[in-house]
Every structure is written in structure tokens, then in C-alpha cells.
């Protein structure tokens, strides 16, 4: 059995056999970990492929201070949370858009109008979140960007779940107000 340090050195040196050995030894564990976050099996496989591809591409820069397994599990978790966050924001924004703009977003061929609208909406969302009161902003980011549940946020910040609910509601209300010109009536 090769130690984590030896495995990392071999992979950093471009040893594809060591990389394949690592892949084979942890794939199913990481797959089931990924499925805790992402219910669709094909999406989970794609996310895992992204993690391993990025790991291989950045192998020379890898600086692991924990076990190799812990590093990979954290990488998968981050990949899943980023996927959830991007899907949640896209879905939430698209739901309120007028049909003509929503169709442009869903169309495979980008149009200048949809690109401009998306950039404008993204900028408004970022600016609005940045201007939220500190507690509201941190709670909203933990919820919508980090994907934490309200109870997890309450535990992390040692506040009540009711406070978390209220702050998320407040943030969404402010965002909705700022995006009212882009939302269907």
C-alpha cells in the first residue's frame, strides 16, 4: 500500500498509473458522497469527473495538508455546493423573468440581449447582496451560496432559526425589489 505522500509525489510527477490507482480506490466513495448533495446520478458523475480532471490538471500545484481522502472529499463537496448554488441562482432568477427573456436564456444560441440582460442582472444581484446589512448578508450567503440549511446556519452563528428565516426573507425581498424591472408581473 502506497502512502498518501508517495501517491501525491507520483501524481505530481505525472504518473498516470498512480492517478488511475487513486481514482479506482476512491471513486465509489466519492460518488456516494456526491449523491448526498446531487440526486441525479449523471450530474454526480459529471461533477466527479470535473474534480478528478481539475486534480490532474493542477497536480503540480497541489499542496495537501490533510489526508488525500479528506482533500478529495472536500473537493467533491465544494464542487457539489458550487453546482447547487449556480443552479439555485439561475432557477430563482429565471422563474421571475418575462417569457421572451426566459426563452432567450433557455435557447442554446446566446443572443446579445440575453447576454446583456444576464450580466446586468448578475451585477444587480452582486451589488444588492454586498449592500445588505452584515448579519443579513452573511446569513444569505451561507444559505444561497454555501448551501447550508437554516438550522445549520443557526447553529454556526449561534442564533435562532427564526432569525435565519427572517434575514433570508428580508434579503429575498430586497433582491426582488431591485430586480422588479426584470421580473414578470
Q: Which residue in this structure is represented by grid cell 454586498?
A: 130
Position 98 in a domain: no
Phi-psi sector, 136: left (phi>0), alpha (psi -120 to 50), beta? alpha
pLDDT in tens, 165-177: 999 899 888 888 8
Q: Give the pLDDT score at 178.
A: 83
First to last CA, the chain: 63
- Residue 104 falls inside a structural domain: no
Q: Which of 70, 86, 102 marks a domain boundary?
A: 86
Q: What is the mean pLDDT of residues 157-166?
A: 93
Asked whether residue 54 falls in the same domain as residue 119, the answer is no
Where residue 64 falls (left for φ over 0; alpha for ψ -120 to 50; beta otherwise) is: beta
Residue 87: predicted pLDDT: 74
137 in any annotated domain: yes
User: Do both 73 and 119 map to the same domain?
Assistant: no
Query: Above 80 in pLDDT, residue 97?
Result: no
Do residues 75 and 119 share a domain? no
Which range marks the domain in which residue 139 is found? Answer: 110-182
CATH number, domain of 41, equals: 1.10.1740.10
Most confident segment among 49-58, 107-116, 138-147: 49-58
Taking the CB of residue 164, how many other CB atoms lie within 10 A of it?
25
Same domain, yes or no: 64 and 120: no
For residue 43, give every residue at least 6 positions away whose Cβ sits within 8 Å of its Cβ, in sequence order, or none.
83
Between 93 and 133, whose confidence is greater?
133
Q: Structural domain tally of the chain?
A: 2
3-class SS at 103?
A: helix
The answer on pLDDT for 51 being more than 80 is yes
Give dist(CA 77, CA 148) in Å, integer: 12
Same-domain pairing of 74 and 122: no
Amino acid at each position: 500500500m502506497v502512502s498518501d505522500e508517495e501517491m501525491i509525489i507520483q501524481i505530481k510527477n505525472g504518473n498516470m498509473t498512480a492517478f488511475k490507482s487513486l481514482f479506482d480506490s476512491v471513486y465509489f466513495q466519492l460518488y456516494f458522497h456526491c449523491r448526498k448533495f446531487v440526486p441525479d446520478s449523471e450530474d454526480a458523475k459529471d461533477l466527479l469527473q470535473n474534480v478528478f480532471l481539475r486534480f490532474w490538471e493542477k497536480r503540480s500545484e497541489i499542496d495537501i495538508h490533510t489526508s488525500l481522502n479528506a482533500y478529495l472529499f472536500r473537493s467533491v463537496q465544494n464542487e457539489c455546493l458550487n453546482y447547487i448554488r449556480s443552479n439555485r441562482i439561475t432557477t430563482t432568477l429565471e422563474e421571475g423573468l418575462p417569457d421572451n427573456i426566459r426563452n432567450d436564456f433557455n435557447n442554446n444560441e446566446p443572443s446579445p440581449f440575453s447576454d446583456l440582460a444576464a450580466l446586468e442582472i448578475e451585477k444587480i444581484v452582486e451589488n444588492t447582496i454586498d449592500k445588505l446589512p452584515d448579519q443579513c448578508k452573511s446569513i444569505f450567503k451561507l444559505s444561497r451560496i454555501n448551501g447550508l440549511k437554516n438550522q445549520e446556519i443557526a447553529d454556526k452563528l449561534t442564533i435562532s432559526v427564526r432569525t435565519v428565516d427572517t434575514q433570508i426573507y428580508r434579503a429575498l425581498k430586497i433582491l426582488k425589489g431591485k430586480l422588479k424591472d426584470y421580473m414578470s408581473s
